[in-house]
Amino acid sequence: MAKTPCKGMAPRVRRTRQLLHQALGTLLETRAFETLSVQHITTAATLNRATFYDHYPDKFALLECMAASRFHDLLTARGVKFDGGCASALKAIVLGVCDYLAGLPALECARQRQLEPHLESAIIAVVRAMILQGLERHASNGAASPEMMATTVSWAIYGGAKEWVKTVDRPSSEEGADVVMTLITPILSLSRLTRRDTHHPVETT
Amino acid sequence: MAKTPCKGMAPRVRRTRQLLHQALGTLLETRAFETLSVQHITTAATLNRATFYDHYPDKFALLECMAASRFHDLLTARGVKFDGGCASALKAIVLGVCDYLAGLPALECARQRQLEPHLESAIIAVVRAMILQGLERHASNGAASPEMMATTVSWAIYGGAKEWVKTVDRPSSEEGADVVMTLITPILSLSRLTRRDTHHPVETT
DNA sequence: ATCATAAAACGACGAATGTTGGGAATCGCG
DNA sequence: CGCGATTCCCAACATTCGTCGTTTTATGAT
C-alpha cells in the first residue's frame, strides 16, 4: 500500500519502482499476467531479479501498486477533487473507474484469472479514500459511519463499473456511469451528500 | 466456477475434490494461505500432487471454489430462500456474509495478502446469483438492468461486511447487517424489492 | 463376472520461486 | 572531497510450480 513510488522517497528507489511499473505495463499489452514471470519483468526493466524482491513480495503486489498508482494518476489528471460540487466529483470518479477498466487489455480473457482479483482491492482502496475525503465535509448524521459508507459505496461503484465493462454492446462510459450513479446516490443521500449540489461553477480544465 | 463438487458428477471426482476442500480448510486453521503449497494440500488430502492439477489450475482456484461452496452451504443451511419476504431473505444474506467473514481465521494478518482478493470474487458471485434470482420476481422498472442491480448490490454488501469485520470493537453481526441493510435497501427500492415486506411469517429455524 | 473407460498414481522434466550472503555501485551529507 | 549508508547486482540455493507420458486402479454398464 505504501509501496507507491511516492514523492517523498529516495529518487533512486522511485526510479527503480517506476521502471518496474513501466515494464509491467508494457508487458501487459502483449502478454497475459499469468504468463509473466518476475524474470520477464525485471529483464524488461533492465534490473536484476533479486532487486524486485527488495521492493515487492511478489508480482501481485507490483500489480496492485501499479494499478492503484495509474488509476490515481488518471483521476488527478482529470482534476477530480471535492472542491467543487460533490455530485460532479462522484460522477467523475465513477467515470474514471469505468474508463480505467475499459482500458485494460483483454480483461475478459480466461488467462487473466489472477489479474482481476488483485486489481479490485487496489482500485477500490483509491476510490474509498477519495470518497472518505469527500465525506469529511458532511455531517455523518446517518446510521452508518463515514468509513462504512465510503467502503460500501466504493465497492458498489467498482461492481457496477465491472458489470458495465462486461456488458455486450455496452453503452458509452458516460451512460454507464450515469446508471451506476443512480444506484449509489441513494446511499450517500443518507448523509446529505447531494446538498448544495452544483454550487460552485468550478470546471476542471 | 463449475468446479464445485456438485451432485451431478462422478462420485469419484466429487470425493477427490471434497478431500481437497477439506484438506485446505483444515490447513488454513493453522497456517497462512501463502505458506501453503500444492504439495502440502495434496499430502494432507492423501492425494498425488499431479491429481490436483487434474481438477484445479492452481491453489487460488481451489480456494475460490472452497469459499464459494462453503458460503453457499452456510446460506442454504440457514434456509435462505426468496420464497418468503424479500427483505428478510436479503437480511439473511447480509448476515451470512458477515458471519462467514467473521469466521475466517486471522483475516487481518499480513501474511494473508493473497487470501482476500480471491475470496471476494467467489463470495460476491454467490451473493449476486441469489439476489439476481430474487430480482426475477420483480418488474425491472428501474433505469438499471437486473444484472447491474444485482452486481452493484452484491459488491456493496461484501464491502460493507468487510468494513464491519475490520472494525475494532465491532457490534454484533446482526447490528452490522442492519447497518449494511440500511445502505443497500435504497438501491433495491428502485425496483420495488421491498414490496410485500414481511408478508409470510416464515422463520428459518 | 467382464471389460471398456474414466480417473488417480507415479516419476521426471525444465522453469520459476523466494531467499541468502557478499560485493560493487550510487547517493546524501558533512 | 570523502565517508557512511543505502541500493543494486550477482550467484547460488532449496523448494515449488506446472506439465507430460505412462502405468495402475476403480467404476459402472453389459
How many Å does it take to go from CA B12 to C1' C2?
21
- Out of B120, B152, B189, the one facing A160 most closely (by C-beta) is B152
| Contact between A78 and A100 (Cβ < 8 Å) | no
For residue A201, name the pLDDT band (cuts at 50, 70, 90): very low
The residue behind cell 480544465 is A205
Residue B152's nearest CA partner among B116, B180, B177, B184 is B184
Q: Are B8-56 and B59-196 equal in CATH topology?
A: no
pLDDT of residue B8: 54
Residue B117's nearest CA partner among A159, A114, A28 is A114
Contacts of A19 (CB under 8 A, 6+ apart): A45, A46, A47
Percent pLDDT > 90 in chain A is 66
Please give the biggest Cα pair distance in chain A: 54
Kindly report which listed range (A49-58, A142-151, B34-43, B159-168) carries the lowest average pLDDT score: A142-151
Residue A1: count other Cβ atoms within 10 Å of its Cβ.
10
By CB atoms closer than 10 A (0-12, 13-18, 19+), residue B6 is exposed
pLDDT digits (tens, 9 = 90+) for B138-186: 777 677 899 999 999 999 999 999 999 999 999 999 999 999 999 999 8
Using CA of residue A156, residue A162, residue A165, residue A169, what is the dihedral sign?
negative
- The reply to whether A58 Cβ lies less than 7 angstroms from strand C is yes
Give chain B's mean pLDDT: 86
Contacts 24+ apart (CB under 8 A), A106-111: A106/A32, A107/A165, A107/A166, A108/A166, A109/A32, A111/A32, A111/A34, A111/A35
Looking at per-residue pLDDT, the higher value among A46 and A107 belongs to A46
Kindly report which listed range (A145-149, A155-159, B132-136) carries the lowest average pLDDT score: B132-136
pLDDT of residue B141: 66
What is the Cα–Cα distance from A203 to B159, expressed in whole angstroms? 32
- DSSP, collapsed to helix, strand or coil, labels residue B47 as coil
pLDDT digits (tens, 9 = 90+) for A84-112: 667 789 999 999 999 999 998 776 677 78
| Contact between A195 and A138 (Cβ < 8 Å) | yes
What is the Cα–Cα distance from B64 to B104, expressed in whole angstroms? 14
Please give the grid coordinates belonging to residue B102: 467473521
Inter-chain contacts counted by CB atoms under 8 A, chains A and B: 117
Chain A CA closest to residue B60: A114
| Contact between B20 and B55 (Cβ < 8 Å) | yes
Residues of A in contact with B118 (CB under 8 A): 117
With residue B135 as reference, give the H or E element that holds it: helix B115-135
The identity of residue A113, as a single letter, is R
Percent of chain B as helix, strand, coil, to the nearest 5: 65, 0, 35
Full-model pTM:
0.88
Checking if the pLDDT of A204 tops 50, the result is no
The residue behind cell 439476481 is B132
Checking if the pLDDT of B70 tops 50, the result is yes
pLDDT of residue B7: 53
pLDDT of residue B199: 44
pLDDT of residue B142: 72
Checking if the pLDDT of A199 tops 80, the result is no
Looking at per-residue pLDDT, the higher value among A12 and B43 belongs to B43
Taking the C1' atom of every nucleotide in all shown strands and the CA of B49, the nearest one is C9
* Total length of chain B: 205
What is the Cα–Cα distance from A9 to B86, expressed in whole angstroms? 52
Checking if the pLDDT of B63 tops 80, the result is yes
Average pLDDT over residues B93-122: 88
Task: Kindly list the domain boundaries of chain B, sorted by start residue.
Answer: 8-56, 59-196
What is the Cα–Cα distance from A180 to A108, expressed in whole angstroms? 20
Give chain A's mean pLDDT: 85
Average pLDDT over residues A47-74: 95
pLDDT of residue B45: 95
Average pLDDT over residues B12-16: 91
Average pLDDT over residues B173-200: 74
Please give the grid coordinates belonging to residue A95: 467515470
**How far does A205 lie from chain B, in Å, by closest CA?**
31
**Which of 1.10.3470, 1.10.357, 3.30.160, 2.40.50 would CATH assign to domain A59-196?**
1.10.357
What is the Cα–Cα distance from A159 to B192, expressed in whole angstroms? 21
Checking if the pLDDT of A205 tops 80, the result is no
CATH of span B8-56: 1.10.10.60
Most confident of A135-139, B79-83, B161-165: B161-165
**CB-based contact (8 Å) between A65 and chain B?**
no
